[in-house]
Structure 1
Amino acid sequence: MKIIKAKDFVADRAWGALDIANMNGITTRLHWTDQPYRWHVNDGEEVFVVLDGEVDMHYRQNGHEYVHRLSAGDLFYATIGTEHVAHPIGEARVLVVEKEGSV
């Protein structure tokens, strides 16, 4: 059993993570960041939930780039092959659920 206060979590580097669970190869991790990630495509699906702060989620579809601002409580679901990158606005804490070993 774990109780985690997401607002209290701070990592020692951008995108540092606290491993919460691994359920049959699906990981759940709490990330802290104050810097953008990098453009990437996961080899599986990804659920990205903003728990604290705001994040501009950039993604590409059919040759076009889009940006949506996500606030606390909002989520982004990336299907297989979705090219995307997260840009926090200041500090943010996000919960990521994805296939183990995904980027």
Structure 2
Amino acid sequence: MRFIDAGGFTADRPWGALDLTEIDSATVRLHWTDQPYIWHVNDGPEVFVVLDGAVDMHYRQDGEERVERLTPGRICHAEAGDEHVARPAPEARILVVERKGSV
């Protein structure tokens, strides 16, 4: 068994991750960041859970940019093809579950 204090986790670079486990073809990672990611489109589904801090999730729907604020306990589920970018406010720890090797 392994126990992790997510609130105390800090990586050596933005979006650095602690690989927690693989479940079949999915990875479970704890990320820390104080910088935005890049606009991207996932090649598979992704579950994004803010554990500490806040993240402004920018996404495009019907050609329009929208923003949803994610705070601890809020879950974002992105399907393959959903264009989005996560921007911490000002830093965050995030649990991400996605296909192994996903962008």
Q: TM-score, normalised by structure 1?
A: 0.98
- 1:13 is aligned to 13
- 1:48 is aligned to 48
Q: CA deviation at 1:60?
A: 0.6
Q: Structure 1, unaligned stretches of length 5 or more?
A: none
Q: Could you say what secondary structure the match of 2:10 adopts?
A: coil
- 2:28 is aligned to 28
The percentage of aligned residue pairs carrying the same residue is 64
Q: Could you say what secondary structure the match of 1:48 adopts?
A: strand
Question: What RMSD, in angstroms, separates the aligned Cα atoms of the two structures?
Answer: 0.6
Distance 1:36 1:54 in 2: 12
Q: CA deviation at 1:47?
A: 0.2
Aligned residues: 103
Q: How big is each residue's C-alpha offset from its partner over 1:22-41, in whole Å with a ceiling of 9 and x where there is no partner?
A: 01110000000000000011
Q: Could you say what secondary structure the match of 1:72 adopts?
A: coil
Q: Structure 2, unaligned stretches of length 5 or more?
A: none
- 1:39 is aligned to 39
Q: CA deviation at 1:20?
A: 0.3
What amino acid maps onto 2:6 in structure 1?
A
Say whether residues 1:74 and 2:67 are aligned partners.
no
Runs of 4 or more, structure 1, over 6 Å off, are none
Distance 1:85 1:45 in 2: 15
Q: How big is each residue's C-alpha offset from its partner over 1:50-97, in whole Å with a ceiling of 9 and x where there is no partner?
A: 000000000011111100111111111001110000000011000000
Distance 2:23 2:80 in 1: 19
Q: TM-score, normalised by structure 2?
A: 0.98
Distance 2:76 2:62 in 1: 18
